[in-house]
Structure 1
Amino acid sequence: MIDARTLAEGLAKALARAGMGAPEGLHRLTGGATMESWRFSSGGEDFVLRRAPSLEFMQDRPYGHATEAAVIRAARAAGVTAPEVVVELAPEDGIGSGFVMRALPGTPNPKEILAMEDPAGLLRQVARDLARIHSLRPGDVPGDVPVMDYRAAIADLRRQFEEAGGDRPIIALGLKWMEDNCPEPCEPVLNHGDYRMGNILAENSDLTGVLDWELAHFGDSHEDLAFGCMAVWRFHRYDRPALGLGSLADYFAAYEAESGRTVDRDRFRYWLVHRTVWWAMGCLRCARVWRDGSDRMLERVVISRRTSEQELDLLMLLEEDALTDGITPKERMSDDYLYFGEAQTGEIATAVSEWLATIKDRLEGHDRFQLAVARNALGILARQYAICPRVSDKELADDFLSGKRSMMTDPTIPRLRRDALDKLETDSPKYPALAVARALWSESTEVID
């Protein structure tokens, strides 16, 4: 983690190469699950630094920030409302990998964009820019921008699935469907790779910017068309299947008018399934990069829990009537459930979340965003323990109290020992007696049925 002073000093070196003054008011922007974004001023104008959280984070990527910057420049030259790149970071700057862009007007906030007065007009502009992106061919950008091999992409997702445990039946269904329905390759065009609500800027129903180009590659144009139409990127406008802005018919018509190409509905459906599986695996990867230390941001662990969203969406895509009668959901803790023991995990999470809410007004910028993410994380814990509450075994306790069962002879004692170890490991792992008990019971904690 680079401190703010070091970041400002390194950024000043990069800006000097572009004939610009040192940064002023450097601060972290909210959002950015993959890359960091820092806003600042120089010479009375506003700019944004986009950088990787670590150099290790860039190692497995197909290309670096220099190529990404070149792609953005090519898109801007093709008429896309892409930002102007002014300088790339260099190793001698000492602040990692990234580049500086001139700031654009507008908001990236999906809630604000989806509430604008003319969503249909904005959708036409979104379709226009996507068509212009797809006008670019391999000769227009650096040679290390990859061309997608559809079958290889499926195989890679399958490998990731197996490395993540291979234990998600719905994702397995999606992978098999993709293998059985993969379309034949078509003429590759430049795909933005992450063209969706959240990566566009808008102001007064006008498109003002297309952001986050690190996933750009060559492939089927339908992939970009489908990705933004996934349920997850419609946010609170599930009823508008085209980016939460309007109908698919209007989106396709605007795209076809600008591009001169006809949208193939079957290919669109394939890529809708493909990218849903892709994002499910992306959510799982967030937990992995947090665990291995390459990015310890709080968003990583929270996003990893969004895998469940994609599993639900995928199941509905593959089989709308999959949820038939006779499937009983896991029983939740009923409203009249009474628990009189120590505070449960969900209750602790709720208490911390409530306290965090009291300091919200003291924070600003990225810290305020992180607080919202933290409260979301605590909400996950609270909801999980509402479904799987930590309950006691009253029947067994009654039997012990009545003398019906004895500690000296009862076969449940090994299970009680194991449960006591597990419980204390969660509640107070530094408690001195824990290590003693673990050693004492190491040979006798096996559960006896």
Structure 2
Amino acid sequence: METLLEAVMARAGHGGRITGLQRLSGGANMESWAFACGDGRFVLRRAPSAEWIAARPLGMDGEAELIRQAHASGVKAPEVVAELASADGLGIGFIMRCLPGTADPEVALSSSPELASDLAAAMAGIHALSPEGLPFLPMLDPAEGVEGLARQFEEAGGDRPVIALGLAWLRTNLPSPTSPVVVHGDFRIGNLMVDAGRLSGVLDWELAHLGDGHEDLAYGCMTVWRFGRLDKQGFGLTDVATLARAYEDAGGERFDAVRFRFWLVYRTVWWALGCLSMGQSWRSGTDRSLERVVVARRCAEQELDLLLLLESEAPQAERERFLPPASEPAPGSRGEPTATEVLTAVSEWLAATVKGKLDGRERWELAVAQNALGIVRRELAGRADPADKVLAENILAGRQSLQTEGLLATLRSRTLSTLSADMPKYPALASARILWSQA
């Protein structure tokens, strides 16, 4: 791979030997490889497969061009130095100059107070890019987007009642039309490089499109992208009102709380379905990585968040209804080890014997494998089935809603059980369990 990269870099005017090639951890979709060439550091960004990129509305050539224009306009975006050609033998992608800093969420969320203003200014700068200069960007119309989510829901089985609840709400609360702007589409902590407490670059432009700028504002405020900062809805850094003022002060459009809420619900449904699609990607063979299977089980995180977003619209009596009592745990085994105990033993062995021998991407993959073992172990111990096609169909058809007696309590109970098995460390789970036990 190093030899092939050297040829590409030489063609781009950056001749030299490739050293330190290493695949970066994380990244639910694209591959990223860091390396040094000459006296500079660079990142290769490429698609996991031609089949995967063919299904995306924005090709990697369009992504590279968008990044170029953003960089040229003053947005803190990477400098694209080369695009891969088929003859290069490296797949589909491009190479960027490495930005200073880190995308580690913990670093970002402990940064200086000015970081929130930096993010607001970057969003305003992206939204100010000329759509006419980016004719290849797809357009996201809210109504068409919701129906696209509905089709995706059916393709995934159409049997998750909480997602159906979200879709029904979106259909009823479509926002009024607005002039389209360039939307990054994945603007959140984890995709933002931070250096010395300030923003140094915006990464991962693969989901860019034309649409409503409030989508970017809402997406970064989702609970999942705040990494435990439940008290700071504005990207885990501040409150939404302060973030909105900073966005307006940087040249962004006037903040609209109604549109913000629509996109917050929309992207929560979107990511719930995106998680489920990871499992289908694994089944189809498009990407057989273990990560795909584990991310698919994160759907329950978004179902919890959807209930927390929408339950305020239920009658007070339903919000205060007691949850059904949790089932008692099964007694411990005194005979041969159970399947749960065997899985625990394997996980402990991996931690004690294998973990210390790995680093980088392999150490991260071990953590994913241990997470997968934990999911299976907890499911064997008892997990409510999140699938209920009849109930989902009734919700979509309007025959049941949050006004229906007992529905909210049922959905709360099922979601707690599912998420406790799938992702028990999700920060919002503990607070939801306390909140709902006091209802």
TM bucket normalised to smaller: 0.7 to 0.9
In the aligned structure 2, how far is the partner of 1:28 from the partner of 1:9?
A: 16
Counterpart residue identity of residue 328, structure 1: P
RCO higher in structure (CA 8 A, sep ≥6): 2
In the aligned structure 1, how far is the partner of 2:267 from the partner of 2:191?
A: 16
In the aligned structure 2, how far is the partner of 1:343 from the partner of 1:284?
A: 32
- Counterpart of 1:261 in structure 2 is 253
Counterpart residue identity of residue 331, structure 1: S
Indicate whether 1:17 and 2:11 are aligned: yes
3-state DSSP of counterpart to 2:81: strand
Counterpart residue identity of residue 180, structure 2: P
3-state DSSP of counterpart to 1:95: coil
- Counterpart of 2:190 in structure 1 is 198
Matches of residues 372-391 of structure 1 in structure 2 within 5 Å?
372-387=367-382
* Equivalent of 2:49 in 54, 59, 62: 54
3-state DSSP of counterpart to 2:163: helix
3-state DSSP of counterpart to 2:138: coil
Matches of residues 170-319 of structure 1 in structure 2 within 5 Å?
170-319=162-311
* Equivalent of 1:325 in 321, 328, 335: 321
In the aligned structure 1, how far is the partner of 2:252 from the partner of 2:333?
A: 65
In the aligned structure 2, how far is the partner of 1:202 from the partner of 1:273?
A: 28
Return 5+ residue gaps in structure 1 as ranges: 1-6, 390-449
In the aligned structure 2, how far is the partner of 1:330 from the partner of 1:55?
A: 47
In the aligned structure 2, how far is the partner of 1:340 from the partner of 1:30?
A: 41
Return structure 1 stretches of 4+ with deviation > 4 angstroms.
321-324
In the aligned structure 2, how far is the partner of 1:158 from the partner of 1:343?
A: 44
Indicate whether 1:26 and 2:17 are aligned: no
With 197-206 and 277-286 compared, the bigger mean Cα shift is at: 197-206
With 379-388 and 199-208 compared, the bigger mean Cα shift is at: 379-388
3-state DSSP of counterpart to 2:177: coil
Indicate whether 1:347 and 2:333 are aligned: no
- Counterpart of 2:123 in structure 1 is 130
Indicate whether 1:39 and 2:34 are aligned: yes
In the aligned structure 2, how far is the partner of 1:253 from the partner of 1:383?
A: 44
In the aligned structure 2, how far is the partner of 1:24 from the partner of 1:139?
A: 40
In the aligned structure 2, how far is the partner of 1:344 from the partner of 1:220?
A: 52
> How high is the TM-score relative to the length of structure 2?
0.83
Indicate whether 1:146 and 2:146 are aligned: no
Could you tell me how far 1:101 is from its partner in structure 2? 0.5
Could you tell me how far 1:166 is from its partner in structure 2? 0.5
Distance 1:255 1:329, change over 3 A: farther
In the aligned structure 1, how far is the partner of 2:319 from the partner of 2:332?
A: 31
* Equivalent of 2:66 in 66, 71, 92: 71
Counterpart residue identity of residue 96, structure 1: G
The C-alpha deviation readout for 1:96-127, integer Å capped at 9, x for no partner, is 101000011111111222123x2x21101010
Number of aligned positions between the proteins: 378
Could you tell me how far 1:52 is from its partner in structure 2? 0.8
Distance 1:140 1:41, change over 3 A: same
3-state DSSP of counterpart to 1:319: helix
With 368-377 and 267-276 compared, the bigger mean Cα shift is at: 368-377
Identity score, percent: 52
- Contact 2:186 / 2:216 at 8 angstroms: preserved in 1? yes
The root-mean-square deviation of aligned C-alpha atoms, in Å, is 1.6
Counterpart residue identity of residue 164, structure 2: A
In the aligned structure 2, how far is the partner of 1:41 from the partner of 1:252?
A: 39
The C-alpha deviation readout for 1:357-402, integer Å capped at 9, x for no partner, is 122221111001111111111222222223359xxxxxxxxxxxxx
- Counterpart of 1:156 in structure 2 is 148
Could you tell me how far 1:178 is from its partner in structure 2? 0.5
> How high is the TM-score relative to the length of structure 1?
0.81
- Contact 1:16 / 1:22 at 8 angstroms: preserved in 2? no
